Amino acid sequence: MIALEGGTFTMGSDRFYPEEAPPHRVTVGPFRIDEHPVTNDQYRRFVEATGYVTVAERPLDLSGIPGAPMTTLGPGSLVFTPTEGPVDLSNSHNWWRYIEGASWRHPQGPESSIDGLGDHPVVHIAYEDALAYARWAGKELPTEAEWEFAARGGLEGKVFTWGDEIEPNGKIMANTWHGEFPWRRDDPFGFERTSPVGSFPPNGYGLYDMAGNVWEWTADWFRPHGATAALVERACCAPPAASAEESYDPTQPHIRIPRKVLKGGSHLCAPSYCMRFRPAARMPQMIDTGMSHLGFRCVQRG
């Protein structure tokens, strides 16, 4: 873990997506944060020690979605599946498939495994799966403010964790999508999906994979930054926590599943489609859902 003294910084951005705005000053206290996302080897040790079963390995529960069709689907998770050619980028159903047997042990489905991927980030992790590991390890999940403070690496107001240029001097700084999303990936390093942690340069705090590779859970319920910024009258504290009820998706009022904030982007972020591999970027995620590009890292406070 890397020890950070904390401090005051400008959280959010008004240059990209509306949920990031407005920028506002926030102060976080000292904390320690994992140098890189939790890996398959680390998560395997947790499971072997506790016998824990992840959400993706349990029977499918559709009770939180009124009107959902009754199915005979077995345990599984959402897996990114490249398309055969260009598709409508406004509909993510074009490249996400629910695959029975997909889990952290089998990232692409029952015929896949994590053999040889011990140093890759663990994926298909729902919120409670990340929380269970953190508690076992004597740690916690970071707040959104802690995560963003750490990701910025001491650079105030920069677009990326390394500065303002997406590829400074032509150097690729993170595992993101190169090529035509979601059907052609032309990765110069040969990474089809996740990459070993630490494959790209660290940020100014010595932290790896704060951009790209996998999205990461935070402890905060999702709500627009505007609601948060209005409550932060001065840089004296971290943003007030939202409630689970505030985090429901207003465009899907029939789905009463609360959402946490994800940070960092993933290997599926393509500049032509998703510029969310930036410190200010944020995404809501239903707490009962893991995906093939979703992992986490932990913190310790005090």
Give the integer Cα–Cα distance in Å for 36 and 38: 6
Parse the chain into domains and list their residue ranges.
1-302
Can you count the helices (H) and strands (E) in the chain? 4, 13
The set of residues, in sequence order, having a beta carbon less than 8 Å from that of 91 and lying 6+ positions away, is none
* 3-class state of residue 221 by DSSP: strand
Q: What is the pLDDT of residues 151-206, one digit of tens each?
A: 999 999 999 999 999 999 999 999 999 999 999 999 888 899 999 999 999 999 99
Give the integer Cα–Cα distance in Å for 224 and 144: 12
Give the integer Cα–Cα distance in Å for 302 and 297: 17
- One digit per residue, the tens of pLDDT, for the chain of length 302 reads 999 999 999 999 999 999 999 999 999 999 999 999 999 999 999 999 999 999 999 987 766 555 555 566 789 999 999 999 999 998 999 999 999 999 999 999 999 999 999 999 999 999 999 999 999 999 999 999 999 999 999 999 999 999 999 999 999 999 999 999 999 999 888 899 999 999 999 999 999 999 999 999 999 999 876 655 444 444 334 445 577 777 777 667 677 888 999 999 999 999 888 999 999 999 999 999 999 999 999 999 98
Give the architecture (CATH level 2) of 1-302.
Answer: Alpha-Beta Complex (3.90)
Return phi, psi of residue 131, to 5°.
-65, -40
